[in-house]
Amino acid sequence: MERMRLFVEQVQEKGRFELIDALVRPEFRNHTAEPGQRDDRAGIGETVAAMHEAFSGLRVEIVHCVGAGDLVAIHKVFRGKHTGPWLGVPPSGNHVEFRVMDLLRYQGGQWAEHWAVADALGLLRQTGTLS
């Protein structure tokens, strides 16, 4: 779970992309990549970079992080100001908060597989895309 916290705090929040290769296996697969997103290790850096472009002042709060065997589940809250496009949604200027639940399978201390559920509907409401 320490490596998961390291990823959230250093890569997702601070944008330290140079750590991805040490934390994620070359053959990594994201089983819940959004349309247009890559499902491999390179896709992680692209997604995190896009998040930083879309949400200024991005902060990530770890609500829960639990592990069993080679699996780690994490519940996070992302917060920031929507100042850039995100998955086709133009910037709204609104402060947003959205929750994400990730399940990761580790192999050799690195991410091997990923599944996620995100509150996309809540985010769309906060950006004004949906009322």
What is the DSSP code (8-state) at residue 54? H
What are 26-82's pLDDT values in tens digits? 999 999 998 889 999 999 999 999 999 999 999 999 999 999 999 999 999 999 999
Supply the pLDDT for residue 14.
Answer: 96
Residue 21, pLDDT > 90, answer yes
Supply the pLDDT for residue 1.
Answer: 83
Other beta carbons less than 10 A from residue 115's beta carbon: 14
Q: Which domains does the chain have, with CATH numbers?
A: 2-126 (3.10.450.50)
What are 92-113's pLDDT values in tens digits? 999 999 999 999 999 999 999 9
CB 71 within 8 A of CB 103: yes
Q: Work out the average pLDDT over 18-22.
A: 97
From 73, 93, 72, select the one nearest 81 (Cα to Cα).
93
| Entry pTM | 0.93
